[in-house]
Every structure is written in structure tokens, then in C-alpha cells.
Structure 1
Amino acid sequence: MRETVHRHLGKVLTGAALAAAGTAAMVAVTLPGTAGADDSGGAGGGARAARQAGQDPDAAPPGVVERAPAEQKQGTGRDPLTDDELGRVEKIAAAGRLSATARDVDGDRGPQRLSVDLAEPEAAEADDPDAPRRADVTFYDYENDTLVTRTVNLKTGKVERTGTQRGVQPPPSRAENAEAARILIAHPLGAGLKADYKDATGRELTSPDQLELSGGIYEASPGAQPAVLDKCGVHRCVRLFSKVRNGPWIDTRDLVIDLSARKAAALDRG
């Protein structure tokens, strides 16, 4: 997709630049008084004609936007991970027992991917220009509410270490925000959201795709929420910020969706 976009822009901008250059050349030829410039002024006639046409004879030629170079499959050093590397390390990290036993936010087999980041080099490799590149791939396993981080060596294609944590909740992914909205739309507490959406658009709200969504993690505090949300923090719970596509915001901040239990509850506004 990236290559296609760059190629298209290159064609459009190059065509525009050429059209502009062609128009300027036509003006220079057809302006009155320039037809005999070369005969009367020798080498200087061309410069006078250019000045009469509004051109700077010493100006650089119009710029041309060239196609961006193709992205390499392998990055080097501290370069950002390439698309090829991102796809490869995710498959490597999710393989094996994790892919068979873990569950994602939809309840399907396999863990929920949260992030893929270039890992920091080992302490002994800090000054080594040939140090292997590694990626930290972070998943959430909804089967047992566990955060799983796997470090993959990009050179060997092997998982070098695996870390697991419970009660640690990174920000929700786009897929998790969408699933939280799907649960809310189907829940009685989503009635207000659906009514506000219809008031704003005249249409029924039936899918998260109709909203622009962002979300934050909610963690329970003693006595601060309904009992149904007391496990938030161990469970993965999300507060949604909802917006009609190309339209107004809809206030859903007091609603919390427990993605682990697939339940929703309202916080006390007071």
C-alpha cells in the first residue's frame, strides 16, 4: 500500500510540474515582442524574452517528485521495524503452545496482539554495530488474563525469552476498543449511546464501525465502582471515548466494559 501511494503521488505531482513548465514555455513563445528577440539581441535575447515572460533566466528548473524507494525487507541497526519484520515476528511469537491455548478479545483461539516494538540491545551489545535486532511482541491472553511478552531475535528467527505478568494492563488496542463498543451496543446500558447516535445522524447504531473510538484502561479502587467491576485491573476493563464519524462526540465516559467477563456497568457520576 505504501508503494502504491508514493507511486501515485509521484505521477500526479510530476504531471503537474510538467504542465506548469509547458504553460510557461508557451507564454514565452507567444508573448508580443519576443519573436525577434534572438535576432536583435544575440545570446542576451533569450534572457530578455525570459524576463518579459516573467521567468528568472537563472532559476532552477521545476522540481520533480520521484517515487519513494522500495522498503527493504530487513532493517539495520536501530531502524524501525519493516512491514516484513513486523509480520514475521508476530507469527514467530504467537506460534507454539500460545497459539493453541490462548484466547483473543473475541474468544477465538490465539492471543490478542497489543504491540510490536524494536527491543533495546543487550548491555554487552550497546556499542556493537553488528548486534542482532530483536523485537518485543506483546500479547494479552484472555483465557487466563495474562500479559505475555516475547522477545524474538530477527536474525535467528527464534524466541529468546518469554515474560508473563498479571494485573498489568497496557492501553487497549483498536480491536479491543471495537469489541468493547460491540458489547456496549448489545447491552441495555448502550441504549443512551444508540439514542444519541440516532439524534445526531438519523440512523440506527448497529456496529462499532459507525464510530470513531479510543479507550483507556479502568482499574478498580475499593468502593469506587459497582461490584461487577471489582476485578478490573486483574480483568481487562475499558472506558470508551466515542465519536460519530465526521460528527459530534457522545459521552460514554461513565460506562466501563469488562472485556474479560464481557460485561458492562455504569460508574456513579456523583
Structure 2
Amino acid sequence: MRETVHRHLGMLVAGVALAAVGTAAVVAITLPGTAGADTSGGARGGGPGADAVRPGVVEQAPAEGRKGSGRDPLTDDEIRRAEQIALNRQLLNTGENVDGGRGPQRLSVDLAEPEAGEADDPAAPRRADITFYDYGDDTLVTKTVDLDTGKVERTGTQRGVQPPPSRAENAEAARLLIAAPLGAGLKADYKDATGRDLTSPDQLLLGGGIYRAAPGAQPAVLDQCGVHRCVRLFTKVRNGPWIDTRSLVIDLSARKAAALERG
């Protein structure tokens, strides 16, 4: 089946037919009346509400494990160590993750850019940038750690800066949507496609993009999107069709879902 099938959400399309379209949509998509959609938010650099950089140090650095060298990508051991160094006791105790659990939500761990004068130095220290989102106060926290010394060199906090959602955040957005009255169409489309009930995000392949509020582009319940962390999902039945959920927005901070107003 390659044709578009109009169903409960307005578009249920065979995976073969929409594979290329769906892949492109995850990268960037703009719909009439949804100019607030943003799938490319950045995590680094200055931004609204950026706090002064402040140094810090952990009580005890975890074991180093397998190390990379130079500009090689971070190893799995380095990624784990960087997160352990960055996630100090205060942040762990006061932060909140996407499902309301203890500690902030990890978004990314990346090899940090070299400092001035270190670009050609083979012995330059390896550093990692770790980005968290604290749902307790809607704050983006970025820490730079020196993997050799185990010290936190820089900490930055920002509000209103929204990097792309992580896999865990997309899954939680889908979980909230499935449980909400607004998810009835998604569940009906899934049952039409598979003959089974949709009860878990694990039954879907998920992509997501950040939604930012824009005047006149959303119902009032979504006016805080941009300060709140809000996600639009791109959903696909595993081994099946895409289900068009682009008109639905999940506010992960408020744990609510809403439909965009059609222009």
C-alpha cells in the first residue's frame, strides 16, 4: 500500500511511501500556522539567561577506564566518567528528569573544543561537554570537565535554550500522549494499522523536534513553549506506516498535550 490513507489523525501512510518524507520531516519541518516549530535548538554558547561561568570540582573522580587520544571521539568509558564527574551531589539531589525522577535529564556528552593554543598540541587535555536539562526549574546546564584531572572546569546555566529532544524525552512525550485524551486518534490509527492496541512508546519508532510558542500559532495552553520544553513527535509503527502527529504538541515541563490550531 503506497497511497495516503485518511484516518483518525488525517494521515496514515505506508512506511514505503513516506520513508523519505518522514526522514526529512524529522530534520526540519514548517507547517502553516506553526511558525513556532524549531527542531534545531543549540546547546552551547551564550543565550538568554546565561549565568556567569563558575568553576567546580567533584569530591572524587571516578576511574578513568579506556581513554581516547587527541581529537578521537569519546570512548564509552569516557562518556560514563564525564557524566559521573558532572553530576555532583547537589545537582543530583535538586535536579529533576523528564519523568519527574531524581537528577536532571542528560541530553548529550560531546568532546569539547580545544582551548586557545591547544589545537595542535598532541598532549592537550581531553575535555567533555555534558548537557543536562533540569525539569525542576526549566534550566539547561552545561558542564565542561577535564577527563585527565577529573575536575569540572566550567558550568553554565541557561533558560529559554532548547536543544533537540533526547530519545528518552521523545519516549516520555509519546507516553504522555498515549495516556491523554488527545492521544485517542493516534491509538485508533495504530489499531487500524496493526490490529493491536497501542499501550507503550516501545511499539513506535519516534523522532521529535522542539516547538516554540509564536503569537497566534498555538492555543494558550502552549504559550510557555520555549521556556517550557515542548516536543512535536514524528511517529511510525514498527515495520509499518507513519502516523502523522505533527499537529500535536507535548509540553514535557507541564506534562500536558495540546493540538495546534489550524489556520
Using the size of structure 2 for normalisation, the TM-score is: 0.75
**Percent identity (aligned):** 81
Where structure 2 has 5 or more consecutive residues not aligned to the other structure, the ranges are: 1-64
Q: Which residue of 1 aligns with 2:72?
A: 79
Determine if the alignment matches structure 1 residue 198 to structure 2 residue 200: no
Cα offset, 1:95, TM superposition: 1.8
User: CA offset at residue 224 of structure 1?
Assistant: 1.3
The aligned counterpart of 1:121 is 114
* Structure 2 counterpart of 1:100: 93
Aligned equivalents of 2:121, 2:68: Cα separation in 1: 16
Partners of 1:127 and 1:196 lie apart in 2 by 55
The letter of the residue matching 2:69 is T
| CA–CA distance in structure 2, aligned partners of residues 128 and 226 of structure 1 | 53
Find the counterpart in structure 1 of residue 237 from structure 2: 244
State the superposition RMSD in angstroms. 0.9
Aligned-partner Cα distance in 1 for 2:71–2:208: 30
Structure 1 residues 9-35: Cα deviation after superposition (integer angstroms, max 9, x where no partner): xxxxxxxxxxxxxxxxxxxxxxxxxxx
Moved more, 102-111 or 92-101: 92-101
Distance 1:267 1:258 in 2: 12
**1:21-51 Cα deviation digits (max 9, x unpaired):** xxxxxxxxxxxxxxxxxxxxxxxxxxxxxxx
Match of 2:82 in 1: 89
Match of 1:143 among 119, 136, 140: 136
What is the rounded CA distance, in whole Å, between the counterparts of 1:102 and 1:129 in structure 2?
Answer: 37
Q: Which residue type is aligned with residue 107 of structure 2?
A: L
Query: Aligned-pair distance for 1:268?
Result: 1.7
What is the rounded CA distance, in whole Å, between the counterparts of 1:74 and 1:213 in structure 2? 32
Once residues 199 and 127 of structure 1 are traced to their aligned partners in structure 2, the CA distance between those partners, rounded to angstroms, is: 58
What whole-Å deviation, never above 9, does each CA across 1:90-137 have from its counterpart, x for those lacking one?
111112211110000010010100000000010032222111000000
Residue matched to 1:258: 251
In 2: Cα distance, 1:247 partner to 1:219 partner:
30
Over residues 50-72 of structure 1, what are the superposed CA-to-partner deviations in whole Å (9 max), with x where a residue is unaligned? xxxxxxxxxxxxxxxxxxxxxx8
Give, in angstroms, the shift of residue 269 of structure 1.
2.7
Counterpart position of 1:111: 104
Stretches of structure 1 that go unaligned for 5 or more consecutive residues are: 1-71
| Largest Rg, 1 or 2 | 1
| Bigger relative contact order (CA 8 A; separation at least 6) | 2
Partner letter of residue 224 of structure 2? Answer: K
Give 1:173-212 correspondences, 5 Å limit: 173-212=166-205
Q: Distance in 2 between matches of 1:201 and 1:95?
A: 45
Residue 146 of structure 2 corresponds to residue 153 of structure 1: yes
SS at match of 2:178: helix
The Cα shift of 1:240 comes to 0.3
Q: Deviations over 1:72-103 (max 9, x none)?
A: 80101001100110111111111221111000
Count of matched residue positions in the alignment of Structure 1 and Structure 2: 199
CA distance in 2, matches of 1:181, 1:174: 11
> TM-score when scaled to structure 1?
0.73
SS of match in other structure, 2:80: helix
1:123 counterpart SS class: coil
Q: Distance in 2 between matches of 1:208 and 1:251?
A: 15
Aligned to 1:66: none
Structure having the larger proportion of residues in helix: 1
